[in-house]
Structure 1
Amino acid sequence: MANSMTTLFVLLQVIILAFVLSLANGQPHGLKIGFYEKTCPDAEAIVKKTVDQVMSVAPSLAGALLRLHFHDCFVRGCEGSVLLNSPTHQAEKDAIPNQTLRGFQTIDKVKSAVEKECPGIVSCADVLAIVARDVTVATMGPFYEVETGRRDGRVSNITEALNNLIPPTANISRLKAGFLQKGLSVKDLVVLSGGHTIGISHCSSFNNRLYNFTGKGDTDPTLDPEYITRLKIACKPGDQNSIVEMDPGSVRTFDGDYFRIVDKRRGLFQSDAALLDDSETKTYVELQTSTHGYTFFNDFGVSMVNMGRLEVLTGNSGEIRKVCTVVN
């Protein structure tokens, strides 16, 4: 009897410790690694196969697909609302900051492949999260385990996108406040900014830095003059549609070069340059610059997991959409 009581006591201690550790790790109920292990064991393999097929013919979509996950999570949380269509053009994707989003067809393609194997099991929100990891890996970035178990939201609102997405013109105070509001740290801010190592931007996102920074026809004094000259060749005054690489020279390679570029005052956006205006973010930029991004890969995986937990719907909340663009 005494041995049984001792065993029970030890078991209870283990259970309590596991619960405390799960709280410490910030894991929401129902979100875990391997959520589909029994219900759709090949889910992640199917996503990867489809992503690799897309990357083989359209590698420039990597940055766009990573961006989709960011823009989803920062509005209503990571619940797939950025994918929803609106007949009246009042959904998140219709907001000005989202009108340059790309990769929706790829998400639809991945979802269709998963639905064929496991109908009604894998959420669009999880597809977004897994795709973001897989395009990171496909561009020679880090592999990290993606927690799954998200369910899809039923609401997508243009105004919420305008209010919650942090613009590329944000200063460091706006950036820190925006991340803090979502429960993300200053380190998450600077690490996730490193996602700008892949992808392109339209001139409209930074043209004011070249031609009319303070409304007097001037340039942004924090931007390297030589870089300004190069950018002006690609982006003429008022140019909204031309595109430039965010990380010139290695736009299709996920690496730590972004921090070197920021340190040289060649970050494309004001939000990039702003990382030098705070002691904590500047220290991180300088660390990655001096160590060639030594800790960046590991840090990026950790911060992506942190972001992937934002305001998730789990359990009986939300739904599992059959098609990502419409509610069931």
Structure 2
Amino acid sequence: FKKFIASISVLFLLLNFHSVSISQSSEFKQSQMEILPLTSFLFANRDTMRAGWYISPASKNKKNLKSVTKKPEGSLFVQLKPRFNEGEYQLALRVLRGGSHQRTHLREFTGGKPLNHKVYITIPFDFLIGVIQGEAIRSLFPNDRVEAGGWLHQVTYDWETPELIEKVFTNSENYIYPNSIFKQGINFTIPWKSLRSDLELEPLAVRDPLFIRRDDSGLRYAFYRIKHGDTLYSSVIIRFIGEKTHYARSQNASDLLILNGLADARSLSPGQYIKIPLEWIRSEYLHHVPSIYRLTEEKNFKKNIKPKKHKPYNILQNESGKNYKIDTISQR
């Protein structure tokens, strides 16, 4: 009888373990199915990345108390591959907002597996540097564009919510759009002052002799071409950065040497390019160019009708028979 009871207990434990395994497996498959890659893009002209939207099963039926939305809550993600022979430190420094200090999160994203340059890693949108987020936004929302006064966003997907858009594009948490009018096809303009600058969506310009380019990491910098007789201290730092204290100028000089891979400030040669972070540039050299917007005529254009100005965060209704449009010359 004791042997019979023992065998029944063992059988019960096996069945219970099997049911738990099936349950965990189904939950894992469900969570895998919640990840929805929607688009791919090439970052810094070398790294193929994918972007999309995902929702965790735990929050599938959760309601948002502010908007009482029936849409499932989710977030954006980017999938990317490590470069060949790239370790956790280098990858974190290259793509994560917190730099190398956030490299421990990579183990969470990889499930503890070693990095493989042939395997994509799914990283939540919030952890990535702004320039990768900006490129993902351009790819996910192909109808978005630069407009006079701000960034024009078109609601493209049925899973978009005011909360998600505010979180992705701005630093604000004031959700101003009720879900009743937040639907596919609606356009609205996010003012430049509200748009996150680290997304690098706003076209910028610098005055001569500076110019803007992206470096190998994909970040925007101001570049200056060294001329005969130029020095790093007087021709670059004092002229374009304008720090007044000797300590600040010395620190800028050290940072520029590291940033440009220079061993010595005296090693500059004519024709060499020096890159400078845009946030360091003096205001008289860095400016926004209104000439990137221009009005173009259509066949039914009437000269006596002036184009309407887009108000910040104003819902733009689709109009039939529209007699003007705004073309954008972007510097990206």
TM-score (norm 2): 0.24
TM-score (norm. length: structure 1)? 0.24
* Higher RCO by CA contacts (8 Å cutoff, separation 6 or greater): 1
Whose helix proportion is higher, 1 or 2?
1
Structure with higher Rg: it is 2
